[in-house]
């Protein structure tokens, strides 16, 4: 079922839920500039075998309001929007799965709204913590010295996005997914193209916003709250991750009290069909035990 949820005067969020109405809720939070359809239908349906799965469009994506140029907001507002999505469905608590920026937003929920969470699963993200990473040899590494984003991605992100028409935009997005997927799994260009066609049809436009890249990033540190949380947290480790490369996942698991870590072989910063089954198994095993 689809609906629009009011987030503020003049601002609404597109929200969809699938699965049995009485199943435990599971909220999916996508990354920067990505609509809820960034979660592939196949993966959503697999998770909906045991959950009422909710996905939604951030502000400035998909069918939600695109207000940033007139009403700028900080990134922390996007975490509050996740709570609004739950409120709009009348859900008091939910399991939360966040990917990329969505993983940062999920950390904000763990820190600021633990009473609303049954559990958290974090994918492809970095810790909102200043706690050093403890290397297996005992060396302490400050977070700012951990490996950064792959240079090929940084180069692509630095290029201006020009309107050359729908098909050219699709090709640009397919190449982006090729880089995000890493180099350990085969890349299916037609699958990526099909996913992006759905995203574009859903939004009714092929232009993209840079709102999330321009939003205020202050006030994100949650070192103390994450170190003291009682929210059961699973961290997904992706060995081919180019945005938050190893050992970011292990640092994240160290920064969050009681967090567990599960590796998905070959996974990068994308959700190709090859990772759907192992990722679903990891998430459902986690939520079943919370």
pLDDT tens digits, one per residue of 148-187: 999 999 999 999 898 999 999 999 999 999 999 999 999 9
- The pLDDT value recorded for residue 60 is 98
Task: Specify the range with the lowest mean pLDDT, choosing from 208-212, 222-226, 257-261.
Answer: 208-212
Q: What is the mean pLDDT of residues 44-65?
A: 98
Tokens standing for 90?
């009348």
Tokens standing for 112?
């600021």
Structural domains counted in the chain? 1
With respect to residue 163, please indicate whether it lies within any of the assigned structural domains.
no
- The pLDDT value recorded for residue 243 is 98
pLDDT tens digits, 103-121? 999 999 999 999 999 999 9
pLDDT band at 36 (very low <50, low <70, confident <90, very high): very high
| Pairing of the two strands 52-56 and 117-123 | unpaired
With respect to residue 260, please indicate whether it lies within any of the assigned structural domains.
yes
With respect to residue 80, please indicate whether it lies within any of the assigned structural domains.
yes
With respect to residue 15, please indicate whether it lies within any of the assigned structural domains.
yes
- The pLDDT value recorded for residue 92 is 97
Q: What is the mean pLDDT of residues 47-72?
A: 98
- The pLDDT value recorded for residue 143 is 98
Using an 8 Å Cβ cutoff, are 52 and 121 in contact? no
- The pLDDT value recorded for residue 207 is 92
- The pLDDT value recorded for residue 109 is 98
Q: What is the mean pLDDT of residues 233-262?
A: 98
Which 8-state DSSP code applies to residue 57?
Answer: P
pLDDT band at 17 (very low <50, low <70, confident <90, very high): very high
What range does the domain containing 12 cover? 2-148+209-288
With respect to residue 175, please indicate whether it lies within any of the assigned structural domains.
no
Q: What is the mean pLDDT of residues 23-39?
A: 98
Indicate the average pLDDT of the chain: 97
More confident residue, 160 or 53: 53
| Pairing of the two strands 52-56 and 11-18 | antiparallel
pLDDT band at 20 (very low <50, low <70, confident <90, very high): very high
Closest CA relative to residue 106, chosen from 91, 89, 93, 123: 123
Distance, in Å, from the CA atom of 1 to the CA atom of 78, rounded to the nearest integer, reads 22
SS3 187: coil
With respect to residue 169, please indicate whether it lies within any of the assigned structural domains.
no
With respect to residue 167, please indicate whether it lies within any of the assigned structural domains.
no
- The pLDDT value recorded for residue 121 is 99
Closest CA relative to residue 182, chosen from 268, 114, 53: 268
With respect to residue 203, please indicate whether it lies within any of the assigned structural domains.
no
Tokens standing for 237?
């480790």
CATH number at residue 223: 3.40.50.1820
């Amino acid at each position: 079922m689809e609906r629009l949820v009011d987030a503020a005067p003049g601002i609404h969020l597109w929200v969809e839920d699938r699965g049995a109405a009485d199943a435990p809720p599971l909220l999916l939070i996508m990354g920067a500039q990505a609509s809820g359809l960034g979660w592939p239908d196949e993966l959503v349906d697999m998770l909906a075998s045991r959950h009422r799965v909710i996905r939604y469009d951030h502000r400035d994506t998909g069918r939600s309001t695109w207000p940033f140029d007139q009403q700028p907001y900080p990134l922390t507002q996007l975490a509050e929007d996740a709570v609004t999505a739950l409120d709009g469905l009348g859900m008091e608590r939910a399991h939360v799965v966040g990917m990329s920026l969505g993983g940062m937003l999920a950390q904000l929920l763990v820190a600021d709204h633990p009473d609303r969470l049954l559990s958290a699963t974090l994918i492809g993200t970095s810790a909102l913590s200043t706690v050093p990473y403890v290397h297996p040899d005992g060396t302490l590494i400050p977070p700012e010295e951990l490996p950064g984003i792959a240079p090929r991605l940084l180069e692509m992100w630095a290029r201006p996005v020009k309107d050359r028409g729908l098909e050219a935009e699709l090709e640009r997005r397919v190449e982006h997914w090729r880089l995000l997927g890493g180099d350990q799994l085969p890349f299916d260009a037609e699958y990526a193209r099909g996913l992006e066609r759905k995203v574009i049809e859903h939004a009714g436009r092929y232009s993209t916003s840079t709102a999330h890249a321009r939003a205020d990033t202050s006030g994100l540190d949650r070192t103390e709250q994450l170190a003291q949380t009682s929210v059961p947290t699973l961290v997904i480790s992706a060995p081919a991750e180019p945005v938050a490369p190893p050992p970011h996942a292990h640092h994240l698991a160290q920064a969050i009290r009681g967090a567990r870590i599960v590796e998905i072989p070959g996974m990068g910063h994308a959700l190709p069909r090859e990772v759907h089954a192992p990722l679903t198994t990891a998430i459902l095993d986690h939520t079943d035990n919370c």
